[in-house]
Amino acid sequence: PREATVGILYCDIAGFTRLSEQVLKTPAKVAELVEHWSRDAVEIVWQHGGVFDKMVGDCIIALFGPPFYDGAPGERLASAIACAKDIRAMTNQLPQRVMFENLREVGVSVSTGVNLAPLFVGQFGPNSNFTGFSSGMNNTARLQGCATKDEILVMDEAIGQLPDGHPFTF
């Protein structure tokens, strides 16, 4: 374990309880959505150089920086934001898949929080799970909880760390 400045992403299926109870209805259909969405979201995390930390319910948590810590902290944040945008686009397209056509009328979206913060990162606990700890993780979770459907919220202090010429608007 070591301390490092890490990009953090919390991405949650918006309105998941409503989707589960009113549209999907059966445990098998709920599990099918979570399985496909989370697999595709984690693949997008990897494509952006992130690592999958864990899944809490229907929320995935990803870290950008570990295990190699390539790039400056601002580049880690940029990767997390780009990843969030790609996960949002993938999620919005889920109802176009044959297996999720019952979601076309209501759609599927995500609420996302992104941050850049110092973390103590490594393997912890009885199972030696890879994760990070700091108030930055907690603040990112809170930020995600404030995000609405398809909104990506980025901690204001983090935005100033983005590299010059970044493609994002806030």
Residue 69 has pLDDT above 90, yes or no: no
Token output for 75:
């580049």
Which pTM was predicted? Answer: 0.95
Q: What is the mean pLDDT of the chain?
A: 95
Token output for 20:
């589960």
The tally of CA atoms less than 13 A away on the side-chain side of residue 20 is: 13
Residue 68 has pLDDT above 90, yes or no: no
| Pairing label, strands 2-13, 59-64 | antiparallel
pLDDT tens, residue by residue, 133-158: 999 999 999 999 999 999 999 999 99
Token output for 143:
């930020």
Surface-to-core class of residue 95, CB atoms within 10 Å of its CB (0-12 exposed, 13-18 middle, 19+ buried): middle
Query: What amino acid is encoded at 12 in this protein?
Result: D
Average pLDDT of 42-67?
Answer: 95
pLDDT band for 164, please (50, 70, 90 cuts): very high
pLDDT tens, residue by residue, 88-134: 999 999 999 999 999 999 999 999 999 999 999 999 999 888 899 99
